[in-house]
Structure 1
């Protein structure tokens, strides 16, 4: 019996020693670009036999050919993606992890601007959302105790209609859908629905996976929402339920802190919070196709108005499609600018 125990112990020790000689590595190109084919390889450095390998990307199994997997990055989109290999070796399984990050495959076009018109804007309006509709601007402002929804006359800057948000909420971006106004809040995990004409609240909705509420616009079928990260969320227009998201990247970085949004000629225009830049984003894949440099506008406001607060920054984009007019402003800025973009 004692000999049998010794033999059993030796067998276990031998098996364990053999198992410990497995040196597994999951090799993948960690930084790559959209539409590029890349290969993911599972390697055993000591050429030990492997029974089977299963590959997973972002938790979903992907069909492979033995120990190797070839993918096109367009199938997974921009951003960081987790790769795992479940390796079956004699007597047990092991899991090996790695990741890859997909960047845009083009550099953004740079734009400057020309000022076409300058209009007055309420210096006490901490602009969060801005939209042109039927000859007027609709604007939402932020900060707790100061958040409001407004209808504004463009030429005079006069506030024609206004309601205040409950002081426990910090108002954010908005958009107009039919006869309704959809208005986000910042960190309260909810948005509100208002009647366009009366400004009466007629509904509310909860966020789901998105981190916060920042900017809001729309295409023909969906709401488009930013949450302060580099993600763009697409929501059901009727229920405001989140459906999907994509990540926003240039050729060399993730573009985070996306704020107020406007859809212009099929592209998403997004304020880059605390930078005098508007990004032009392809809504199909998140690629930043253009960057609008509005540093001169910010400098002009700091000089003429003597802005002192760090958060009194460029924010607010509105577009009059019928007359091809682009309006921009900022938080507590005394001016609303109509500008024309100039390609550099």
Structure 2
């Protein structure tokens, strides 16, 4: 009778093997816990520049705080400064203000968005916002939000995204205006402070960084930086044309039907339709920190 087949001996779990397994598992867990680091590790960050497709007139006295496109060559804009703050309906091609709601002189207008056919606007240094009828800009009511301050607003049609000048991107319930989630935005270990005007584009939140000619593209899921768009050429072009009273780049609008992007700035005489293009040459180390990151905004 033949000997029965011998069973293959089981592998012993040695201490070195166990330590190696634990080390690998720990690294994976750390990456997963830090969603920003994990996303950047897997996908990387894009770096883009722009080319100008069209130029349109813009009120050079408009201290632009919020900007949105609603179709039919129509923009809505929120402007700031005490005594000059407003919400306005603007014809894209002519820059003509077709409707205007002037705010009380004690208010400093900030970000603006449209959801459920209502315009929502936040105000600086306050947690109070205003609701307007988008047809005639009549004020319908007020709301109280969860952000520390009112800077930017955007919407995907279901939730609101907000900024308060910090490095935090908020998601707000559009009925209660309570914070659904908060994500601190980091780039290379640095907080991206001064998140300002916002726009929701292709599943991303695009944000002006106050004081920089840069737009940061943010994942609304976890606050990860998806990319940077460099727009320094717009300021240079206007200065060379003799426009010296420019304030900061601020204002992003998105025409989702035709996939057109519009940008402008505070006290800018022009509004630009732009196309975003990848930067093909490698980005110099530290250039984004130099061009796009700023220290936290301090109140005067």
Question: Please, what TM-score do these two structures have when normalized by structure 1?
Answer: 0.70
Counterparts of 1:171 and 1:254, CA distance in 2: 26
**Partner residue, 2:237:** 300
1:305 offset after TM fit, Å?
Answer: 4.2
Whether contact under 8 Å (2:170, 2:181) holds in the other structure is yes
1:164 offset after TM fit, Å?
Answer: 0.8
Q: How many residues align?
A: 254
**Partner residue, 2:180:** 243
Whether contact under 8 Å (1:115, 1:338) holds in the other structure is yes
**Structure 2 counterpart of 1:267, from 184, 188, 204:** 204
After TM superposition, the structure 1 = structure 2 runs for residues 199-214 of structure 1, keeping only pairs within 5 Å, are 199-208=137-146, 210-214=147-151
1:302 offset after TM fit, Å?
Answer: 2.5
1:220 offset after TM fit, Å?
Answer: 3.4
Unaligned runs of 5+ in 1: 1-35, 40-69, 79-100
Counterparts of 2:29 and 2:46, CA distance in 1: 29
**Partner residue, 2:7:** none
Greater relative contact order (CA < 8 Å, ≥ 6 in sequence) = 2
* Residues 27-49 of structure 1, C-alpha deviations (whole Å, 9 max, x = no match): xxxxxxxxx9658xxxxxxxxxx
Whether contact under 8 Å (1:128, 1:140) holds in the other structure is yes
* Residues 44-96 of structure 1, C-alpha deviations (whole Å, 9 max, x = no match): xxxxxxxxxxxxxxxxxxxxxxxxxx954534655xxxxxxxxxxxxxxxxxx
**Structure 2 counterpart of 1:227, from 158, 164, 172:** 164
Name the one with the larger strand percent. 1
Q: CA 1:155/1:103 → structure 2, altered by over 3 Å: closer, same or farther? A: same
Counterparts of 1:242 and 1:156, CA distance in 2: 38
Counterparts of 2:229 and 2:265, CA distance in 1: 15
Q: CA 1:220/1:308 → structure 2, altered by over 3 Å: closer, same or farther? A: closer
Secondary structure of 2:238's counterpart equals helix
**Partner residue, 1:33:** none
Q: CA 1:111/1:37 → structure 2, altered by over 3 Å: closer, same or farther? A: farther
Question: Please, what TM-score do these two structures have when normalized by structure 2?
Answer: 0.79
**Partner residue, 2:133:** 195
**Partner residue, 2:252:** 317
Q: CA 1:198/1:266 → structure 2, altered by over 3 Å: closer, same or farther? A: same
Counterparts of 1:37 and 1:205, CA distance in 2: 46
Counterparts of 1:322 and 1:308, CA distance in 2: 34
Q: CA 1:123/1:288 → structure 2, altered by over 3 Å: closer, same or farther? A: same
Counterparts of 2:236 and 2:152, CA distance in 1: 24
Unaligned runs of 5+ in 2: 1-23, 280-300
Greater displacement, 114-123 / 187-196? 187-196
Greater Rg by CA: 1
Q: CA 1:205/1:323 → structure 2, altered by over 3 Å: closer, same or farther? A: same
**Structure 1 counterpart of 2:192, from 255, 277, 280:** 255
Whether contact under 8 Å (2:35, 2:224) holds in the other structure is no
Secondary structure of 2:190's counterpart equals coil
**Partner residue, 2:292:** none
Q: CA 1:183/1:305 → structure 2, altered by over 3 Å: closer, same or farther? A: farther
1:306 offset after TM fit, Å?
Answer: 2.9
* Residues 105-161 of structure 1, C-alpha deviations (whole Å, 9 max, x = no match): 364211111111000000000000000002200000011111100100000000000
Name the one with the larger helix percent. 2
Q: CA 1:289/1:168 → structure 2, altered by over 3 Å: closer, same or farther? A: same
